[in-house]
Amino acid sequence: MATKSHPYTLSKLHLHSQQVIMDNQQPGGGYLACPNMPDYHFSWFRDGAFIAYALTLDGIHNMLPHRVGMAGQWDSATKFHQWCARIINDRAKALERTISHAALGQPLVLADTLNARYRDEGAAGPADWPEFQLDGPGLWIWSLAKYVEVCRISPLPMFWESAVDLAVRYLTAVWRSACNDCWEERSDSIHISTLAAIYAGLGAAQRLVPALDTQATRDDIRAFIFAHGLTPNGELAKSVGLDMVDANLLLAALPDDGLLAPDDPLMLRTVARIERDLLAEGHGVHRHIEDTYYGGGAWVLLGVWLAWYKTQIGDFAAARKLTGWAEAHADAEGNLPEQVRDAMLDPSYYDGWVKQRGEIARPLLWSHAEYLIVQHALRGKDNS
Ligand code: BGC
């Protein structure tokens, strides 16, 4: 890994984050969510979308040398996007069945939907995992558009275009279905962050493939959220009918294609409640107040995501403070965990999860990706 050509010095954690991500990309292009937890030896569309986005940004300023003269980060992101396109295109028959069933008003057949995660070579995981999640394909399209725009790839490779087209028609057909949220919970509800991810993906798809017309579906999703997705106090709700927020609602302000501008009053109210209900001072952010996974600790990746959001509203001091918490939770090698135990919501659940899955996932590639994203957003903001 070269640092010589960098115009400024990257922090140790920045360099380590690049390394952890690159080291854990698999030959087929998928990223292991975490190398040290067998249940995480899969590549998720969601985690990978943020990882590829982090590399897309990182490749602009901190190009890692690569044998063909391209930023190593972009080469890695290309492989991931290729992996996603392959997973989606390979399932065309099943997804087309889902699209036709939906058009006929027939019930969804889970076996014909996309899983949240796959092995690198494309195999699905054990059947007992809550695989039906709709945010992942939306986030993938959003991340792909960012990559294509930064790297000025034109025309869009046909293999990517067909995957985007299929994913868009699939999401358009099923977005009203209940599914697992991005934490793989609450399979019987419709989640606002999932809808926000689909909304962003459809907007990005429109830019990638102008012949697609996603506007009507985006309008329907937005109208649905305003009609059914708000809490009584006027914040975005975790899921339809719940007077609760979830830190995953930060998704509603994804750059460029987000449902809401970062400083939209609805977004500001939602984040204010996230901070009130879920901020674990000094550590990170809880997912939601009923979380019991590993005792419901504070998630490092959510702390850095909140930092990223703060940069979007120009509060760089808050962003630096939150990023400092994450840095303080890196271990001696620089590995960032998924969550930390310092502020558990219900410690009685911790041991049970350790027995079932082993220690808390670390390094979690998604945490490192969020760290790189926020580093990029803080560039040149030292005195603000
Ligand atoms: C989280 C998912 C995440 C996966 C891999 C799960 O525990 O609920 O959001 O995609 O870990 O990081």
Cα–Cα distance for residue pair 19/10, rounded to 1 Å: 13
Q: What's the whole-model pTM score?
A: 0.96
Cα–Cα distance for residue pair 177/108, rounded to 1 Å: 8
- Catalytic, out of 120, 131, 181, 246: 181
Name the nearest CA neighbour of 257 among 218, 197, 203, 180: 203
Q: Three-state SS for 370?
A: helix
Question: 3-state SS of 280-333?
Answer: ECCCEECCCCCCCHHHCCEEHHHHHHHHHHHHHCCCHHHHHHHHHHHHHCCCCC
Residue nearest atom 2 in ligand 1 by C-alpha distance: 183
Domains of the chain: 12-378 (1.50.10.10)
Q: Which of 24, 31, 44, 134 to mutate to test the pocket of ligand 1 (most atoms within 8 A of CB)?
A: 44
Q: Is 184 known to be catalytic?
A: yes
Q: Determine phi and psi for 279, rounding to 5 degrees.
A: -75, 125
Query: Ligand 1 within 6 A of 181 CB?
Result: no
Cα–Cα distance for residue pair 308/304, rounded to 1 Å: 6
Q: Is 338 known to be catalytic?
A: yes
- Catalytic, out of 96, 184, 220, 315: 184
Residue nearest atom 12 in ligand 1 by C-alpha distance: 33
Query: Ligand 1 within 6 A of 182 CB?
Result: yes
**Could you give the residue ranges of the DSSP H alpha helices within the chain?**
12-23, 45-61, 72-90, 92-103, 135-150, 158-174, 192-208, 215-228, 265-278, 300-312, 316-328, 350-357, 365-378
- Catalytic, out of 47, 58, 291, 338: 338
Residue nearest atom 8 in ligand 1 by C-alpha distance: 183
- 350 CB-side CA count, 13 A: 16
Q: Is 181 known to be catalytic?
A: yes
> What pLDDT digit, counting tens, does each position of 120-148 carry?
999 999 888 999 999 999 999 999 999 99
For the chain, which ranges sit under pLDDT 70? Answer: 1-8, 67-69, 383-384
Query: Ligand 1 within 6 A of 368 CB?
Result: no
The predicted structure's pLDDT at residue 68? 64
The predicted structure's pLDDT at residue 380? 83
